[in-house]
Amino acid sequence: MRLPARPNGRIAAFLLSCLCLTALVTLPAAAAPPAPPPVFVLNSLDASVSVINPVDWTEKQRIPTGKEPHHIYMTPDEKSVIVANSAGDSLTFLDPRTAEVQRVVYGIIDPYQLQFSRDMKWFVTAANRLNHVDVYRWDGKDLKLAKRIATGKTPSHIWIDNTSTVAYVTMQDSDELIAVDLPTQTVRWRMATGAMPADIFGAHNDKTLLVGLTGSDGVQVFDVAGAQPKLVGKIPTGKGAHAFRSAGDGKTVFVSNRVANTISRIDLATLKVVANYNVPGGPDCMDVSADGKTLYVTSRWAKKLTVVDLASQKVVRQINVGRSPHGVWTLDHAKRI
């Protein structure tokens, strides 16, 4: 019986190449990695949001909002990011991944600052020009006003404690810090501060509050563990101390010094400055990348988003945005507490 002839070398190579090509054709194409979520910058004087692509660092679109969008906050389910339009008396809900406008809620009076409680039951806004704080109930979708509380002059920033029972609010022009009891919507106490108190950051299990003094050159430290607050110190940082952002490591927090054109990093254990970064253009609000390597800063007077490399402590780029950029936010962020 004759055996079939063994194919020669050229034929074998041809057959092998055909098999490989067939395998390549039948393999599914590798899925492209998802695009990273954008960086949002609020342009307060342009009534818009700049949407920044964090890959090529270009402004990919500009979304119209209500008048004077100043601050931005995420819904507890992370499905929406809310832009508070203070002079437009409205909230714009955006998709944090696609920047699509989901809905606009009207009738929210002068929402300059905004914050959710950690138990997701309360939503608090500070009416900067109308001198009141609004406490809303939140059911996961809609807001219902529980009470409007008259305050001192120019309520500015909010910090809600980890028990979701107290909202601390600064009064920018009457130089005060107040504590609002959320279950009863009443003012627990009122405390004098230094000049033009702005942002608040809770430390030491919210028994300590840091308050930035925009009209001074540092951060006041308050002990709020007892029934009445106590001023226990001041941390020199720089002129125009304004906004805070946790570094995400649970150990340090950044504060922007808007007049000094610097950002200070404060050690929460010692309550001392451990690093300073030069950031031009009136640094204001901040966010930190998820890996903790990059700081995003709005340069309020320069119409730019400034990007700082934290390892080198250097500004690595600036992106043109609209007028008076204020809030900045991205879904790809480090822990905020």
pLDDT digits (tens, 9 = 90+) for 137-183: 999 889 999 999 999 999 999 999 999 999 999 999 999 999 999 99
Contact 7, 284 (CB under 8 A): no
pLDDT band at 30, cuts 50/70/90? Answer: low
Contact 132, 120 (CB under 8 A): no
pLDDT digits (tens, 9 = 90+) for 313-337: 999 999 999 999 999 999 999 998 8
Residue 28 has pLDDT above 80, yes or no: no
Contact 163, 121 (CB under 8 A): no
pLDDT digits (tens, 9 = 90+) for 223-273: 999 999 999 999 999 999 999 999 999 999 999 999 999 999 999 999 999
Q: What is the pLDDT of residue 148?
A: 98
Q: What is the pLDDT of residue 10?
A: 52
Residue 22 has pLDDT above 90, yes or no: no
Nearest to 42 by CA among 64, 15, 11: 64
Q: What is the pLDDT of residue 107?
A: 97
Entry pTM: 0.90
pLDDT digits (tens, 9 = 90+) for 265-300: 999 999 999 999 999 999 999 999 999 999 999 999
Q: What is the pLDDT of residue 21?
A: 44
Residue 317 identity (one-letter amino acid): R
pLDDT band at 32, cuts 50/70/90? Answer: low
Q: 16: Cβ–Cβ under 8 A, 6 or more apart, which residues?
A: none
- CA dist 203 and 219 (Å) reads 13
Residue 78 has pLDDT above 70, yes or no: yes
pLDDT band at 29, cuts 50/70/90? Answer: low
Mean pLDDT of the chain: 92
Nearest to 38 by CA among 94, 109, 98, 128: 98
Q: What is the pLDDT of residue 12?
A: 46
pLDDT band at 188, cuts 50/70/90? Answer: very high
Residue 47 identity (one-letter amino acid): A
Q: How many residues does the chain have?
A: 337
DSSP state of 182: T
DSSP state of 19: H
**Tokens coding 217:** 């050159």
Residue 14 has pLDDT above 90, yes or no: no
For residue 224, CA distances in Å to 101, 125, 179, 221, 234 come to: 39, 21, 10, 10, 15
Q: What is the pLDDT of residue 114?
A: 98
